[in-house]
A and B are shown apart, each in its own frame.
Chain A
Amino acid sequence: MSNATIADKRPGALHGARLPKWSPWAIAAGSLLVAVGIGAGAGLDSKVQWGLIAALLFLFATYGIAAYVEGRRQAKDRIATGLVWVAFLVALVPLVSLVWTTISRGVKVLDVYFLTHSMGVVPDSQPGGGIYHAIIGSLEQVGLATIIAAPVGILTAVYLVEYGRGKLARAVTFFVDVMTGIPSIVAGLFILSLMLIFDMEPFGFAGSMALAILMMPVVVRSTEEMLKLVPNELREASLALGVPKWRTILKVVLPTSIGGITTGVMLAVARIAGETAPVLLLVFGNRFINNNPFEGAQQSLPLYIYQQYAQSAGANAAYDRAWAASLTLIAFVMILNLVARGIARWKAPKSGR
């Protein structure tokens, strides 16, 4: 399309006139001022409106000025830049607010005592107690879910990418897609009905199984993407040397993509670590420490947050604990994320892009 536009009208010079570097800021400040002026002048009390006027002014002014000085194409470019920045800043507001709320409310009761004690016999409406039992429960349930889901997911992805052709592979691909859309509570109900058939009481591992169901498709999807990125030359080189295919996969393909796979697994872990609904049905919740995921009710962090919010008679102490537990959960996810990134960087194929 572009030949016509690129062969521009401007004669001779390689560089047309350019706006100075500070111009976007100046225009932004200018339009903000004018918007406040208009808003205050016209007596518009909605701040939304002020912001909207400012944003519109900014875009029009940018376009007008840039079109006048630099030409239409540059003006469009500046508009696009402006829009991208605006979008980023707009999105930043709620996300920062979320993080800020969680941190500022969460630190109120978050201390060593809180992390090393269970709720025990402390009534939910009273201050005190902690989340140690929930941390243990979450770690064990999520850890077990990972032990089930990660190998199955990775092997399935290997099958799809390295072997898979034909009906079975297509069926697996399709149903993995569908599986990503299973509502988490449905996975919980499924395991619950199995438990009732076998007449079992709630225990931690039941939660792990539901979480594993939710985790597998995510692992398959991300691992699949990563395996596809492994250059074929590597596979061919290995096969050409007479290495059996399975050893090629184990020694060449997987090590090359292990960074990405780990990241994917970690993100999946982070995703299931925050699931409330299946855990609510399956592990029951517990006020006391239960270190054994295979017997007896356990607690988990998201469930704890939910209970402290919803079932505590609106006591402020419970809300504080809910936020503190949220902060802990986010910190947990953040650490996992950091670890994943570290591994990804450490293991990334040096020959990559």
Chain B
Amino acid sequence: MKLQRMNRRAIALGALAASSALVLTACGSDDNGDSSGSSSSASASTQAGSIKCNDAKGQLLADGSSAQKNAIDAWVAQFSKACGVQINYKASGSGAGVTSFNQGQLAFAGSDSALKPEEVTASKKVCTGGQGIDLPMVGGPIAVAYNLSGVDNLVLDAPTLAKIFDSKITKWNDAAIKKLNPDAKLPDLKIQAFHRSDESGTTDNFTKYLIAATPDNWKYEGGKAWQAKGGQAAAQSAGVAAGVKQTNGAIGYMELSYVADGMKAVSIDTGASAPVAPSSDSATKAIADAKVIGTGKDLSLQLNYTTKADGAYPITLVTYEIACDKGNKADTLPATKAFLTYIASEDGQGLLNGLKYAPMPADIIAKVRTTIDGLS
């Protein structure tokens, strides 16, 4: 047509782009060879043998919590190597994950909070004959990290934390902080408390802890959006971490893996014999105190934020994988099941320690395994 003539140039350019893309397709590679070794790859070769693939094939789409991103990455590395299935996990957030799952776009979703009743109702449209269920899979301590030159060890308790994040305590040399840290040289410096500006399961769990542990000092409703006024906000855990790192006198909450050079994690005085620092072990101990409150095949947990057990770190977050109990899509079911079976297995959970996550306690993970076996 004439159209083509007049736009010859534009089309030629488009074609150029497309054809150069085609030419390029010849030379790219998904094979990253041995460079894919993760910190935990020492056991990779032995593990690969124990993964059961069960005719899994193709590519799985999954989306959800960014908190479990590193864990999923590590699992995917092992699983893909063994089964050749590509698992494409986009960590765009729990809410987006659940929304997309209920729109039927995903094989499974990851979420930092259990499905709400209306979300379960919505999931029935996608799961023919069944519904979406929560499978607790990854635990993670939420660290409270600070940047304060000259102070290497900081202990706080729930009321003090609440007051700091509610802008009631504004100076580092406040009496309440001094009382908990008699030996530290606390400067006369303004506290810059960082919270998440985006909505997030991390905020949700952090404020749930404050509400449970010190309701008098934290009179907000909680939820994924930060409620208190005042303080500094930054987008994503990456933003909070960058903010704390750049600012002397800053404090903020984030997943433990973000706590890196320039920051230190606060130990929490829970009333146990000694203050507890965030770690994989201390988080697992706290999760062991949790109750399963899900009904039917749903295994959602109620965490005990006020635990006083020795060595249990109370500010923890549990990420659930969400799949249909019945009515998973036929083409993705084998791969989904195989992948979930793998990550709930001892090998799968074993990877978590090295990545600053917390594996699920034995009794909970046993229930998870049984449930996964029954997925259809």
Contact = CB atoms under 8 A, between A and B. Distances in A.
A140 to B, nearest CB: 5
B38 A126 contact: yes
A122 interface: yes
A314 interface: yes
B235 A310 contact: yes
Contact of B236 (A130, A199, A258, A310): A310
Interface in B2-43: 2-3, 5-7, 9-11, 13-14, 17-18, 20-22, 24-25, 27-32, 35-39
Interface stretch (A3-11, A51-59, A278-286): A278-286
B70 A116 contact: no
B10 A289 contact: no
B73 A285 contact: no
Interface stretch (B169-177, B211-219, B252-260, B264-272): B252-260
B235 A147 contact: no
A226 interface: no
Contacts of B239: 310
B7 A150 contact: yes
* Interface size class of chain B, counting residues whose CB lies under 8 Å from the partner chain: 35 or more
Contacts of B3: 151, 155
A249 B242 CA distance: 56
A321 interface: no
B88 A124 contact: no
Contact of B39 (A124, A126, A285, A286): A126
A296 interface: yes
A312 B237 CA distance: 9
A132 B28 contact: yes
Interface SS of chain B: helix, strand, loop or mixed? helix
Interface string B57-74: 001010100100110011
A136 B10 contact: no
Interface string A283-322: 0111111010000110000000001011111100000000
27 contacts: A121-B32, A121-B77, A122-B73, A123-B73, A123-B77, A125-B70, A125-B355, A140-B21, A150-B14, A151-B3, A154-B7, A196-B103, A201-B105, A254-B6, A262-B13, A284-B63, A286-B88, A287-B86, A288-B30, A288-B86, A288-B88, A307-B91, A310-B239, A311-B66, A311-B91, A313-B70, A313-B258
Given A154-B6, A314-B238, 6 more contacts: A121-B80, A144-B18, A265-B13, A284-B61, A307-B91, A313-B258
Interface of B: 2-3, 5-7, 9-11, 13-14, 17-18, 20-22, 24-25, 27-32, 35-39, 59, 61, 63, 66, 69-70, 73-74, 76-77, 80-81, 86, 88, 90-92, 103-105, 235-239, 241-242, 255, 257-258, 260, 355
